[in-house]
Structure 1
Amino acid sequence: MGISVFIDQVLELLMGWPLIMYVIAISALCTVAFKCIQITNFFTSIKNTFTPSISQEKSTDADMTPFQAFMNSLNSAIGNGSIGGVAVAIAVGGPGAVFWIVIVGLLLMAMRFAEIYLTTYFGPKKMGGAILGGPMVYLHHVIGGRYLAYIYALFCVFFGFIGGSAIQTNTIGLSVSTTWGIPAWINAVMLTVFVAYIVLGGASRIIQASMRIVPVKVVVFFVSSLTILAYHHQSLVSALQLIVKSAFSPVAVAGGLMGFTIQQAMRAGINAVVFATEAGIGTAAIVYGGSESKEPIADSIGSMLGVFISTTVCFLVAMCIIASGVWNSGLTSTALTVAAYNSTFSWFGGWLVTFLSTTFGMGVLVTYAYITRAVWLYLTGGKGQRIFTVLYCLFAFMGALLKVDMLWKLTDITNVLLLIVNLFGIVMLLPLIVRGIAAYHSEKR
């Protein structure tokens, strides 16, 4: 048995129904335990994010404000998984996958609340001049937590170097080379210089870069996607009907090919939204740990908006693909998204997707520089910041030059392992979160 076949089998096992039910069960448990907080406090989430109280402003020693933490977590959640990952979900599971993206995305908002509450409740720890938060802090408070925290950190630092750096530069490089014909080595050098400039500037430069990238990519995405939907406005109702119908009944495809089953739709949609939003993986909690929040409940409520926006991005990409009629063209991944954009913008559609792929990827590169740096310092006891910088830049350079098919699979496996460990911690600490919510509402009265 070859290593590639073995990795495929491991991935198939890990990303099967047990994981899906594990995620759904815990996110549903959080939703019930928190009394549907993502619905009852939706508008409060918007208010807390964009009009924070004075106590939510940046403290003296913090890396960022809660709003900057929100923007940075959004930066990593709106990545190429939204462009290519949703397209893959539709290609594998049919239009019905979109229904499960929306439903599970709503449930995942409660899971995001839980992980952000835990990191802000227990507070970050300082190490080597850096502020460290997230699962490495709150996992210490569960059974076997000391070991779980280190296991999580090992998985996370691997994911940061591979998924946060190498794969992002690879995706950007391929997109730019395909569209504009720029040689791979030039892409590699330019991206490495960009990464080095960001990382060498420390936490403050990383945060500033995120604050500039997020508005650009979000505005361009929403304007272009809504333009496509306006162009295909006559197909919107039928597209929505197809999504709902396909979620609960098998769908045939043209040309006599095998159709999509309900199980395929569920699995593809759930996997897509979990890894697109990053809710439950714990990386957003690491970012929020840098804010040294003074209002755990308020900031946790605000953090749920990030999952909503990320899910909305996934939904809009899916609607563009289905309403434009290219969903059953046989294409997959980014090529399917390009076909949807080309249906409205002609040849310029490919340029738009390339721009989005580049900005989405750069956003992930920047935010994961912060996340991976924090985890690295936790593992090394606050030492070796220069070594981290060299490694992160090296992975960025190599990623832009090499084929990374197997790295994608290893990243998926690592993602699952992060999810399993972090969700275990959330379940163990669920009573503490429930008590915190009750105390918050008592004070409000």
Structure 2
Amino acid sequence: METIVNTLNSVIWSPPLIWLCLGAGLYFSVRTRFVQVRQLGEMVRLMLAGGKSEAGVSSFQALAMSLSGRVGIGNIAGVATAIAFGGPGAVFWMWVVAFLGASTAYIESTLAQIYKEKDESGRYRGGPAYYIEKAMGQRWYAWLFAIVTIIAAGFLLPGVQANGIAAAAQNAWGIAPAVTAAIVVVGLGFIIFGGVKRIARFAEIVVPFMALAYILVALVIMFLNISAVPEMFGLILRSAFGLEAGMGAVLGLAIEWGVKRGIYSNEAGQGTGPHHAAAAEVSHPAKQGLVQAFSVYVDTLLVCSATAFMILSTGMYNVIAPAGGMLFEALPGIAVGPGYAQAAVESVLPGYGAGFVALALFFFAFTTIIAYYYMAETNIAYLNRRMHRPWMVFALRIAILAAVTFGCMRTAEMAWTLGDIGVGLMAWLNIVAILILQKPALLALRDYEAQQTQGLDPTFDPDRLGIRNADLWRKDS
């Protein structure tokens, strides 16, 4: 079984997917004239805007929901994994993926807004399955994405988050994985049986608080190790291009692991963010596209960097050679994962570090599991549009609780491999789709900026732009 899983992961995450992710980000950056730079101020302004309704949530709530999916175990254990297998240079490639991926996030999230629908309860629903069917006209492709997402978000990905929570809790407080599993399952059940509005409220409160606290601790650690900071940045840059002594052997792996863990963390192009983007109440689709582009920056350039800086400035990490053995070893006997960050904080704040990281990781991972549930539920709603199957939602809730229990009890390696398979499959399907369907998102951006130049609060009329099947936005709908 393990051999099959590892082989499948190697095929999915072959070099073509790495270059597809980077190439798509560069292409969309050029096509949007680097919207992720030009509209940075507008992104911040829109992030704080209101506008929620009975049908949808506010831009900030949609951002918080999206960040609850983006900011997770990948921001702590994922960064540690990238450093362990790709060296410090992997951090640079995570930054590259975030910068280029912000334009990809704009495209996919704007498409989700353009082609969103209202479900039977009057709530907004949308995502890749919706825009693939409406814009591409390929229902089989939309169904394929929906089914893959239900499997990935409902079964494969929650186990990674749960495993990280269990490992960190055991390292910090000696809590058995079975006890952690029970606590997470009870809390998760309360949230997911409460519906999307409860998810939005929970994310709106928890995500900003946990991200800010984590970044502040990272800044404190960097300040206390200020003399090591210049060398840390030099190490990252030298290692990224194979110029650091002893790190040349992992140059290719620095790119591979930086891209892989960057996408796992910020999810740009994976097709997860659009599900949350579609839930927002906005007057123009580009508004939510810009907000979601900004969320990629928050995830990687702030939260992932916080972890990387804590680990590298304190020197608390190992780098594993491709053929086995160690290229660098400062933590003998410490498994790859949250233990690196816990050791880093513990070295500066003895007696508190391991517990703080475990607590931060719990909130990061717990809200990510909730976000996965929402994605899977949205795709079930897509499959149920023509035939009502309420049992599917109940089955999903039971399945994700089982996946969390399973993840807590499994090894980290197996949990991460299954998660990588889920991320890779979604990325393949979604990036190909948005490369084909980019035109409506680009038209929306030009329209938004034209109205912005005129001093207007942009509104959207798909008929004026020649965009078909955006029925919810039509003035006569």
Q: Name which of 163, 168, 172 aligns with 1:170.
A: 163
Q: TM-score, normalised by structure 1?
A: 0.92
Q: TM-score, normalised by structure 2?
A: 0.86
Cross-structure match for 1:275: 264
CA–CA distance in structure 2, aligned partners of residues 185 and 243 of structure 1: 38
Q: Does 1:318 align with 2:316?
A: no
Q: Which amino acid aligns with 2:426?
A: L
Cross-structure match for 1:368: 372
Cross-structure match for 2:321: none
Q: Which amino acid aligns with 1:316?
A: A
Q: Does 1:236 align with 2:240?
A: no
Q: Which amino acid aligns with 1:412?
A: D
CA–CA distance in structure 1, aligned partners of residues 269 and 220 of structure 2: 32
Cross-structure match for 1:47: 45
Q: In the TM superposition, what is the alpha-carbon distance from 1:292 to its structure 2 partner? A: 4.3
Q: Which amino acid aligns with 1:341?
A: V
Q: Which amino acid aligns with 1:352?
A: F
Distance 1:125-1:329 versus aligned 2 partners, 3 A rule: same
Q: In the TM superposition, what is the alpha-carbon distance from 1:267 to its structure 2 partner? A: 1.4
Q: In the TM superposition, what is the alpha-carbon distance from 1:161 to its structure 2 partner? A: 2.0
Distance 1:241-1:6 versus aligned 2 partners, 3 A rule: same
Distance 1:320-1:15 versus aligned 2 partners, 3 A rule: same
CA–CA distance in structure 1, aligned partners of residues 156 and 330 of structure 2: 27
Q: Does 1:94 align with 2:87?
A: yes
Q: Which shows bigger deviation, 5-14 or 35-44?
A: 5-14
Q: Which amino acid aligns with 2:407?
A: G
**C-alpha contact 1:195 1:396 (8 A) present in aligned 2:** no
Q: Name which of 410, 419, 426 aligns with 1:418.
A: 426
Cross-structure match for 2:356: 352
Map 1:116-155 → 2, pairs under 5 A:
116-127=109-120, 130-143=123-136, 145-155=138-148
Map 1:59-74 → 2, pairs under 5 A:
59-62=53-56, 64-74=57-67
CA–CA distance in structure 1, aligned partners of residues 43 and 366 of structure 2: 27
**C-alpha contact 2:118 2:124 (8 A) present in aligned 1:** yes
Cross-structure match for 1:15: 13
CA–CA distance in structure 1, aligned partners of residues 340 and 58 of structure 2: 38
Q: Which shows bigger deviation, 404-413 or 426-435?
A: 404-413
Distance 1:260-1:322 versus aligned 2 partners, 3 A rule: farther
**C-alpha contact 1:250 1:261 (8 A) present in aligned 2:** no
Q: Name which of 87, 102, 108 aligns with 2:101.
A: 108
CA–CA distance in structure 2, aligned partners of residues 149 and 390 of structure 1: 25
% identical equivalent positions:
24
Q: In angstroms, what is the RMSD of aligned CA positions?
A: 2.0
What are the superposed Cα offsets for residues 123-170 of structure 1, whole Å, 9 maximum, x if unpaired? 224246653201011011455621111111111111122344333223
Cross-structure match for 1:266: 255
Q: Name which of 298, 303, 316 aligns with 2:287.
A: 298
CA–CA distance in structure 1, aligned partners of residues 120 and 430 of structure 2: 22
Q: Does 1:226 align with 2:219?
A: yes
Give SS of 2:124's match: strand
Q: Which amino acid aligns with 2:329?
A: S
What are the superposed Cα offsets for residues 270-298 of structure 1, whole Å, 9 maximum, x if unpaired? 11111110111111111121224331112
Give SS of 2:256's match: helix
Cross-structure match for 1:390: 398
What are the superposed Cα offsets for residues 340-393 of structure 1, whole Å, 9 maximum, x if unpaired? 212211232111111111111111122222222212232344522333322232
Q: Which amino acid aligns with 1:411?
A: G
**C-alpha contact 1:128 1:377 (8 A) present in aligned 2:** no
Distance 1:418-1:231 versus aligned 2 partners, 3 A rule: same
Q: In the TM superposition, what is the alpha-carbon distance from 1:172 to its structure 2 partner? A: 1.4
What are the superposed Cα offsets for residues 235-267 of structure 1, whole Å, 9 maximum, x if unpaired? 1111111111222234334xxxx7543222211
Distance 1:241-1:183 versus aligned 2 partners, 3 A rule: closer
Q: Which shows bigger deviation, 416-425 or 126-135?
A: 126-135
Q: In the TM superposition, what is the alpha-carbon distance from 1:184 to its structure 2 partner? A: 3.1
CA–CA distance in structure 1, aligned partners of residues 401 and 21 of structure 2: 33
Q: In the TM superposition, what is the alpha-carbon distance from 1:412 to its structure 2 partner? A: 0.8
Give SS of 1:5's match: helix
Q: In the TM superposition, what is the alpha-carbon distance from 1:319 to its structure 2 partner? A: 1.7
CA–CA distance in structure 2, aligned partners of residues 86 and 406 of structure 1: 17
CA–CA distance in structure 1, aligned partners of residues 63 and 330 of structure 2: 37
Cross-structure match for 2:382: 378
Give SS of 1:106's match: helix
Q: Which shows bigger deviation, 96-105 or 79-88?
A: 96-105
List alignment gaps of at least 5 residues for structure 1. none
Distance 1:423-1:128 versus aligned 2 partners, 3 A rule: same
Distance 1:21-1:242 versus aligned 2 partners, 3 A rule: same
Q: Which shows bigger deviation, 277-286 or 96-105?
A: 96-105
**C-alpha contact 2:146 2:383 (8 A) present in aligned 1:** yes
Cross-structure match for 1:58: 52
**C-alpha contact 2:73 2:160 (8 A) present in aligned 1:** no
Map 1:171-186 → 2, pairs under 5 A:
171-186=164-179
**C-alpha contact 2:315 2:330 (8 A) present in aligned 1:** no
**C-alpha contact 2:153 2:373 (8 A) present in aligned 1:** yes
CA–CA distance in structure 1, aligned partners of residues 309 and 171 of structure 2: 25
Q: Which shows bigger deviation, 205-214 or 331-340?
A: 331-340
Q: In the TM superposition, what is the alpha-carbon distance from 1:415 to its structure 2 partner? A: 0.9
Q: Does 1:204 align with 2:197?
A: yes
Q: Which shows bigger deviation, 31-40 or 378-387?
A: 378-387
Cross-structure match for 1:329: 329
CA–CA distance in structure 2, aligned partners of residues 372 and 315 of structure 1: 29
